[in-house]
Amino acid sequence: MPLKNKILNTIKTCSLLTAIALSIAGTMLPTIASADSGMDELKKVLQSQIAMMKPELQSKVKDLSTDTKMSIMAILAMHSRVSDQATLRQVMLEVLSDYQTMSMGIMTDSAEMTADAARRLANHRIPVGGLLPYLGLDNINDGKLAVLESFNDSVEGNAIKLAEAADKGNMGEAAALLGSISSGCVGCHAVFREYPGTSELLK
Ligand code: HEC
C-alpha cells in the first residue's frame, strides 16, 4: 500500500475513533452535567422548603444527618410536581383517588386507565413546604425519618411496577401489587399519622 493511502487509512480510522469518542462524550456529558444540575435543583427545592418553615422546625431539620437529608432529596427527585399551595391532606386525597382509579382500571381490564393512574400516583404532588411540616415536630429526627424512604419506595416503586404490569396486560400481577402499595400507605400512616378527623368537641 502506498504511503499516501496508509496515511489516509490511518486518518480515517482515527477520525472514526474520534467520531465514536465524541459521540460517546456527547451523550455522556449532558448526562453528567444534568446529574449535577439535577442535584443543584434538588438542593434549591429543599432550601426553599426550609425557608418556609417556622424556626422550631427549621432547627430540627438542620440537626438531621446528611443521610436523612439525602433520603429526603431522593424522594423529592422521584416527584416532578412541587406544589406551592397543596397541603399533605389534599395530596393524600388525590393519591387515594388515583389508587381507586387504579383498581377501577384493573377491575375493568383497562390497561391504560390502570397505568395512567399508577404513574400519577407514583408522581404525586409534593405539598407546599415538603412532607416534613405535616409529620409533626416529634417525628423530625433521624430515627423516625429513617423509615420514610422505604415507605416511599414501597408505594411509588410498586406503583411503577404496577403500571408496567398493566402495560403488558398482566392484570393478575397488577392486582397483586395493589396489596404491596396499600401496605406502604398503612405502614406510613401507622408511624406518621394521627387518627384522622377527630373532634375536640366530643367528651
Ligand atoms: C410518607 C408517608 C405516607 C405515605 C407513604 C402515605 N401517606 Fe397518607 N397520610 C400521611 C400523613 C402524615 C397523613 C396525615 C396528613 C395530615 O393530616 O396533615 C396522611 C393522611 C392520609 C389520608 C387522610 C386525609 C385526611 O383528609 O385526613 C388519606 C385518605 C391517605 N393519607 C391516603 C393514603 C394512600 C391511599 C396512600 C398510599 C397510596 C398513602 N396515604 C400513603 C402519610 C403518608
Note whether 202 and 145 are within 8 A (CB): no
Q: In this predicted structure, which of 9-18, 105-114, 164-173 has the lowest mean pLDDT?
A: 9-18
Q: How far is the CA of 42 from the centre of ligand 1 (A)?
A: 23
pLDDT at 154 over 90: yes
Is the CB of 94 within 6 Å of ligand 1?
Answer: no
Q: How far is the CA of 62 from the centre of ligand 1 (A)?
A: 25
- Calculate the average pLDDT of the chain: 87
pLDDT tens per residue, range 159-191:
999 999 999 999 999 999 999 999 999 999 999
Name the closest-CA residue to atom 25, ligand 1: 89
pLDDT tens per residue, range 79-104:
999 999 999 999 999 999 999 999 99
pLDDT value at position 52? Answer: 97
Is the CB of 192 within 6 Å of ligand 1?
Answer: yes
Q: How far is the CA of 193 from the centre of ligand 1 (A)?
A: 7
Between the CA of residue 1 and those of 4, 9, 11, 12, 18, what are the distances in Å? 8, 10, 15, 15, 24
Q: Name the residue of 72, 102, 189 whose CB sits within 8 Å of the most ligand 1 atoms, as the mutation to test its pocket.
A: 189
Q: How far is the CA of 190 from the centre of ligand 1 (A)?
A: 10
The three three-digit cell numbers of residue 126, written as one number: 409534593
How far is it, in rounded angstroms, from Cα 80 to Cα 150? 19
Q: Given pLDDT bands bounded at 50, 70 and 90, which one contains residue 65?
A: very high
